[in-house]
Amino acid sequence: MNPGKEGDATMNTWSIRRAAGAMTLALILALPGVAEAQHDDYAITGGTVVTVSGQTIQNGTVLVQDGFITAVGSNVTIPAGVERFDASGKFVYPGLIDSGTGLGLQEAGGMAGPVDNYELGPYNPHIEAYIGIDHASEMLGVQRVGGFTTVVTGLNGRGEPIPGYDSMIDLWGWTPQAMAVEKRIGLRVNWSEGRADDLKTYFLEAKAYAERAEMAEAGELVEFDWDVRMDGMIPAVTGEVPVIFEAREEDAIRSAVEFAEEMGLRYIIRGGRDAWKMTDFLVEHDVKLLFSGVHSSPGQDEPYDAHYATPALLQEAGVDFAIYSGGVANVFSLTYEVGMAVAFGLPMDKALRSVTLDAARILGVDDRLGSIDEGKVANLLITTGNPVDYTSQVETMFVRGEKVPWDDKFNRLLRRYRARAGG
Amino acid sequence: MRSAQWLERSKVPGLVLAFLMTLACSGPASAQDLLVRGGTVITITNGDLPNTDVLIRDGKITEIGENLTAPDGVRIIDAQGRFVMPGILDDHSHMGVDRGINEGSRSVVPEVSIADVIRHDDPSFFTALAGGITTIHTMHGSANSIGGQNEVIKLKWGRPWEELVIEEAPITLKLALGENVRRSSSDNPTRYPRSRAGVAEVMRESFQKAQNYLDAWEEYEAKKAAWDRANRRTRGVAPLPPKRDLQLEALAGALNGTTILRVHGYRADEMAMMMEVANEFGIPGGVFEHALDGYKIAPELAANGWATSVFADSWGYKIEAYEAIPYKMLIHYENGVRTSINSDSAERVRRLYQEAARGVKYGGVPENECLKMITINAALNLGIEDLVGSIEVGKDGDIAIFSHYPLDTATRVEMTIIEGEVYFDRSEADVAANWVLDPDSGKETP
């Protein structure tokens, strides 16, 4: 085989893949040959607009054009012909973000067939979660009851060391490609100290590969052995995409941070069960944390409210964090975990940011998502109140400027059976 | 055998209690006296009463009103600005069961009892108390068509087992339908029945045997009575009683109305089957556990006198749970199906009030109706509504004090009281993690 020829082919694939990681929203909206969605333009008027990034606007207007927010304020000029959506007496919030789920990769649990959330082998850094998303999964539509427009999802079924790249997807769209916000939002590493040596070897190998690949691209190498898995590692070891270390216990979090620093990685810690015990460490190392488990039971040596209170303690200490569910069917219930954190001391504005702007920022998509600002993607909710509040109802949802049809499984069944009697 | 134990248990402490009550009511304050002063009292059955006191004497609520006077020596709890609601009931739990949730060797085991395998020192009792729970129904699992007798206890953390049991609670019998009892997760099931149709026949056969057993006893009692009356010289040998059968005795309770059926069911068809079989034997209803698809047959549930005990919004964790919707509380409410919200979990039990709030979120069930689902409805499901589940004179002094309205996002349980004794107090510095952040807690910085 002609090594030069193989190298050429390799570089093509590699370049394309690398470019894919940096693709803009506009580029990934459509599959080749399919026209982009036709967006209706909307002016959402009269509601209390909670921008999250700045001041809340009473009787505000949000102008949505071509899927983006083009104006926000109390004095917005609405172009002729734009459909008005009256939100008087209601609230307008940005769509919520869950920064860790398994959505779209499994339908009902308990059976092998509909569960598609792991690959064989310990290292699969070339795998991208979005490609296996079932856009018609009943599990996606129902999440709107909680106000979730966007989630991070990934393969993690068996906890292998590197199960692949998590993807960020919007929960409305006709194909996985159209739903993808970022195909590679982060490389998931299921960290444990016991895996440190093996992972170090693997990451060092990947770093060396990335250097050779760069030289090959510059034409400085005659021979370059392309490897699908090593190629997958490149965005993670070059800092283009963060590495998401799954780590829950104190020792694991500490060693994952040390590993990431030693390797010079851009990284996020996800899990963080013991984070409340080590806030100084997290602040000192400027750790970005995705925390889950507000509702988990305390250990026998822990205060009864250790995990209810963790977000408040993290906030008080100045840790940079967001809150995620780790769920599939019940991602929508994440608002109740965030609400419980509020009851145990987390300020409400931070609570809301932990499922909007702070999640977007930690994941590197705050240029597009997480708040109601001009230029951002129009993922919006019209609600009866703060979506984090236990009893608030989400009444209308826009994803990329499209008004999402209210035909999710919960609402279909509600309509059908409520009509039988009583209701 | 359960019924004999029951008798023994109820006799002795009952007498002692009666004696102590007489003594205490006329005498000085007891450990079970308490005045909860100035809170908004959520009675559940009689509206919300602002700035109201609740007096508990010897463990029972004796007065509800404004500006009550605490008798000498009675401890006063200041609940001003707080919300005083009845202690929360979780009517589907497995807490405290020290193995033996399922006797899985045979499908029909009504003779076994949770009372034989319970531990009083399960640490999850304390974390549940911290969520305002005072009473739980701790149950057999769903691996058996007829799985055994359950237990109703109060979470008197630190007390011996005998003091936890609610003596007056009727016996409840666990039955199960659907995927679990079919052992459908097994690749090679070897236990009959394997099908829903088979489960129906197992139910029929079991109740028929129990009916035959009751008939045999009735016949014997009649013969025995006749024999007792007959001439001593000519009556011959006394009739022999039927052979005593602990299984059939337990099942017979369901037929003669002394035992409450608690039937694990997910799908509408299996619940319809159970109602059909129950009607054949004149069983006047019962409670469906989880009843995830109950909303599809809400009119039938109401018409046949069946109540439910549900998850608020869990769904999709298996195919049986794939049609569960969080609007089920709304549809049950609109159809007059009595519904409680349970935890089935040592974790979720800690925040059942938050589960109840979901009834408001999903379709706007009225707030007090949602609170009923974790108090009086659960008490009715257990047949202990005369004791617990609301704040009324004469009921047990079981109270949860909340910082805010119990369905408010900011709310926390500050104190949990059972029969006039404080079992959880958040202001005790060693129990809570974040009290330093909480200026309202009344605690001091160490």
Q: Do A309 and B433 touch (CB under 8 A)?
A: yes
User: Do A151 and A79 sit in the same domain of this protein?
Assistant: no
| C-alpha–C-alpha distance, residues B381 and B262, integer Å | 9
Would you state the pLDDT for residue B99? 80
Q: How confident is the model at residue B21 (pLDDT cuts 50, 70, 90)?
A: very low
User: Do A183 and A308 sit in the same domain of this protein?
Assistant: yes
- The rounded percent of chain B whose pLDDT value lies above 90 is 80
Would you state the pLDDT for residue B120? 86
pLDDT in tens, B125-156: 999 999 999 999 999 999 999 999 999 999 99
Please tell me which of the candidates A111, A336, A421 has its beta carbon nearest to residue B354.
Answer: A336
Q: How confident is the model at residue A27 (pLDDT cuts 50, 70, 90)?
A: very low
Chain region(s) in chain B for CATH 3.20.20.140:
88-388
Nearest CA in chain A to B359: A391
Question: How many CB atoms are located within 10 Å of the residue B234 CB?
Answer: 6
Which H or E element spans position A31?
Answer: none
pLDDT in tens, A94-129: 999 999 999 999 998 777 788 889 999 999 999 999
Q: Tell me how many degrees the CA angle B144-B150-B155 measures, rounded to the nearest 5.
A: 135
Would you state the pLDDT for residue B26? 47
Higher pLDDT, A421 or B349: B349
Which residue type sits at B168?
E
pLDDT in tens, A391-407: 999 999 999 999 999 99
Q: How confident is the model at residue A422 (pLDDT cuts 50, 70, 90)?
A: low
Is A125 in a helix, a strand, or coil? coil
Strands (DSSP E) found in B327-431: 339-341, 399-402, 413-418, 421-425
User: Do A158 and A45 sit in the same domain of this protein?
Assistant: no
Please tell me which of the candidates B296, B317, B409 has its beta carbon nearest to residue A339.
Answer: B409
Where is the domain boundary, A330, A350, A368?
Answer: A368
Nearest CA of chain B to the CA of A273: how many Å? 14
Would you state the pLDDT for residue A82? 93
Asked whether residue A7 carries a pLDDT value surpassing 70, the answer given is no
User: Do A393 and A250 sit in the same domain of this protein?
Assistant: no
Is A39 in a helix, a strand, or coil? coil
Strands (DSSP E) found in B195-248: none
Distance between start and end Cα atoms, chain A: 72
Under CATH, what is the fold of the domain B88-388? Answer: TIM Barrel (3.20.20)
Asked whether residue B24 carries a pLDDT value surpassing 50, the answer given is no
Q: How confident is the model at residue B429 (pLDDT cuts 50, 70, 90)?
A: low
For A52-68, the DSSP string reads: SSS--EEEEEEEEETTE
What mean pLDDT value characterizes chain A?
A: 91
pLDDT in tens, B207-245: 999 999 999 999 999 999 999 999 999 999 999 999 999
Would you state the pLDDT for residue B9? 39
Asked whether residue A29 carries a pLDDT value surpassing 80, the answer given is no
Nearest CA of chain B to the CA of A345: how many Å? 7
Would you state the pLDDT for residue A32? 54
pLDDT in tens, B242-278: 999 999 999 999 998 899 999 999 999 999 999 999 9
DSSP structural state of residue B297:
G
User: Do A375 and A337 sit in the same domain of this protein?
Assistant: no
Among A27-36, A48-57, A312-321, the least confident range: A27-36
Backbone angles phi, psi at B130, to 5 degrees: -65, -10
User: Do A156 and A19 sit in the same domain of this protein?
Assistant: yes
C-alpha A262: how far from chain center: 26
- Per-residue burial over B383-399, b if 16 or more Cβ lie within 10 Å, else e, is bbbebbbbbbeebbbbb
Domain count, chain A: 2
Would you state the pLDDT for residue B183? 80
Q: Do A393 and B364 touch (CB under 8 A)?
A: yes
| C-alpha–C-alpha distance, residues B196 and B343, integer Å | 26
Would you state the pLDDT for residue A2? 38
Asked whether residue B86 carries a pLDDT value surpassing 60, the answer given is yes
Residues of A in contact with B185 (CB under 8 A): 110
User: Do A304 and A377 sit in the same domain of this protein?
Assistant: no
| Cβ of residue A113 closer than 8 Å to a chain B Cβ | no
Would you state the pLDDT for residue B435? 53
Integer angstrom CA distances of residue B177 from A364, B146, B270: 48, 9, 6
Residues in chain A: 423
Asked whether residue B11 carries a pLDDT value surpassing 70, the answer given is no
Q: Is residue B376 within 8 Å of B390, Cβ to Cβ?
A: yes
Asked whether residue B336 carries a pLDDT value surpassing 60, the answer given is yes
Return the sign of the alpha-carbon dihedral for residues B179, B184, B186, B191: positive
User: Do A224 and A262 sit in the same domain of this protein?
Assistant: yes
Among A222-226, A236-240, B311-315, the least confident range: A222-226
CATH number reported for the structural domain that contains residue A284 in this entry: 3.20.20.140
| Cβ of residue A108 closer than 8 Å to a chain B Cβ | yes
Residues of B in contact with A418 (CB under 8 A): 327, 330-331, 334
For A141-191, the DSSP string reads: HGGGGGTEEEEEE---TT--SB-EEEEEEES--SSHHHHEEEEEEEEEEE-
User: Do A256 and A325 sit in the same domain of this protein?
Assistant: yes
| C-alpha–C-alpha distance, residues B350 and A380, integer Å | 33
Would you state the pLDDT for residue A37? 53
Would you state the pLDDT for residue B19? 47
Would you state the pLDDT for residue B248? 96
Higher pLDDT, B436 or B417: B417
Burial of B195 (0-12, 13-18, 19+ CB in 10 A): exposed
Please tell me which of the candidates A313, A409, A413 has its beta carbon nearest to residue B433.
Answer: A313
Among A12-21, A345-354, A395-404, B398-407, the least confident range: A12-21
* Segment 327-346 of chain A within 8 Å of chain B by CB: 328-330, 332-333, 336, 339-340, 342-345
Asked whether residue A165 carries a pLDDT value surpassing 80, the answer given is yes
pLDDT in tens, A42-92: 999 999 999 999 999 999 999 999 999 999 999 999 999 899 999 999 999
Asked whether residue B182 carries a pLDDT value surpassing 90, the answer given is no
Q: Which domain holds residue A291?
A: 3-34+96-368
Asked whether residue A14 carries a pLDDT value surpassing 50, the answer given is no
Would you state the pLDDT for residue B10? 40
Which residues fall within 8 angstroms of residue B15, CB to CB, at 6 or more apart? none
Would you state the pLDDT for residue A103? 96
User: Do A285 and A335 sit in the same domain of this protein?
Assistant: yes
Which H or E element spans position A226?
Answer: none
Which H or E element spans position A310?
Answer: helix A306-317
User: Do A160 and A306 sit in the same domain of this protein?
Assistant: yes
Q: How confident is the model at residue A31 (pLDDT cuts 50, 70, 90)?
A: low
Q: Mutate one of A144, A148, A304 to test the B interface: name it (highest B CB count within 10 A).
A: A304
Nearest CA of chain A to the CA of B371: how many Å? 13
- Per-residue burial over A272-294, b if 16 or more Cβ lie within 10 Å, else e, is bbbbbbbbeebeebebbbbbbbb
User: Do A79 and A121 sit in the same domain of this protein?
Assistant: no
Under CATH, what is the fold of the domain B1-87+390-446? Answer: Urease, subunit C; domain 1 (2.30.40)
